[in-house]
Amino acid sequence: MAEPTVRPEGPGSLLALTVVGASATLNLYSTQPLLPLLGRTLGVPPVAAALTVSATTVAVALGSPLAGWLAGRYGRRRTIVAALFALVVPTLLAATSRGIADLWAWRFLQGLAVPGIYAVGIAYATVEWQAHGVGRAMASLMTGNVLGGFLGRLVAATAAARASWRAAFLALGAVTLAAALAVRHWLPPGSDRPGPARSGPRAGPAGWGWLLEPPLLATLAVGMGTLFTNGAMFTYVTFHLSAPPFSLSVAAIGWLFAVYLVGAAVLPFLGRWLDELGSRRAVAASTLVTLLGMGLTLLPSLAAVAAGLVLVSTAAFVANAAATAHLAVAAPPAVRSAAAGAYVSSYYLGGALGAVLPGAAWHRGGWPATVAFNAAVLVLATAGALIHWRRPRVP
């Protein structure tokens, strides 16, 4: 099949990048609305059920460096497409799990495939759109993240409510396969071509010194803090809302994730704003909005909780788009693919920790303690950006 000829700056290529973003998050958090159901069905406590989220995100963090090497060896576009088809296999096999340990294993294998989509997708966007506005490309990628995250949760919750939690993974596998076929057909070729593995920075203090630069470390911290907070909020709110006074069903909790659609509607308009306003101000604004949203979720009203989650989710995607766009100035040109891999590792490590560490706060003080813990993590991460993004390392 002939390669597409869409120019990187064209609207068709931005749509393809949106599909890549959606494909990356489709399965990542799909078990969140199922957590109370998994706990009851498999007879495990909340933290054990939450590990079905962190198992995937830990794998993403571990696999991101390898994804960078594969992209250098085989090309960014080819790596993205291959990773998508690979993701279909463990997604379908998760339906065969005999217990929670099996489910953790299949979820871990799902996560190993995601960096080839997401981390390489970030590198693809920062390189191919460098002359046409990286902010627009990142907004498209993050819009896809929003849509994929919502769709994955909705598909899983709907299938589980109508059949079983096993049916959720069969449905997700079918959607993942359709996404892989679409990306293979629509995503334009990049400027790189398959060939011998490219020589990157050498290991050791001299070769990896770029990773220790404060602007880049602050960027990694923003990514980690953003997904820690967002993942923790949406993981433990399912337990909060399944208990009195709300007592929501699995299907109702799945539809609650429709709050992500607000982010999908907002992010396409933020690309030019990110390019003009700058990442530092965007991250500061997103943190203030997140804290406001967290406060709303403490109210004994489902409408207030939903409104708070709208603010939390939308602000998180703004912060992520701003941080990934900042990679273009925080990392030297020769190591941007490696920096993208490091960012994704930090980002999803934050998500993995966010599914587990707040468990202690939840056990001791319920939802209010969990929210307070998450707020503290986010404020610390933002403070690093406000300090060190004053003098970014210009390529």
- Domain for residue 355, yes or no? yes
CATH of the domain at 322: 1.20.1250.20
pLDDT band per the 50, 70, 90 thresholds, residue 5: very low
- Residue with the bigger pLDDT between 370 and 344: it is 370
Q: 46 is written with which tokens?
A: 């909340």
pLDDT digits (tens, 9 = 90+) for 102-127: 999 999 999 999 989 988 888 888 77
C-alpha atoms less than 13 angstroms from C-alpha of 312 in its C-beta half-sphere: 31
- Domain for residue 69, yes or no? yes
pLDDT digits (tens, 9 = 90+) for 54-97: 899 899 888 887 887 888 888 888 999 999 999 999 999 999 99
- Domain for residue 60, yes or no? yes
Domain tally, the chain: 1
- Domain for residue 151, yes or no? yes
Q: What is the mean pLDDT of the chain?
A: 84
The residue segments making up the domain with residue 355 are 11-190+211-388
Q: What pLDDT is attached to residue 321?
A: 80
Nearest to 211 by CA among 346, 30, 48: 346
The span from the CA of 273 to the CA of 139, in Å, is 10
The span from the CA of 378 to the CA of 383, in Å, is 9
The span from the CA of 395 to the CA of 392, in Å, is 9
On whether the CB atoms of residues 367 and 358 are closer than 8 A, the answer is no
- Domain for residue 306, yes or no? yes
- Domain for residue 205, yes or no? no
Query: In 10 A of CB 110, how many CB atoms?
Result: 28
- Domain for residue 145, yes or no? yes
Please check the confidence at residue 185 and state whether its pLDDT lies above 90. Answer: no
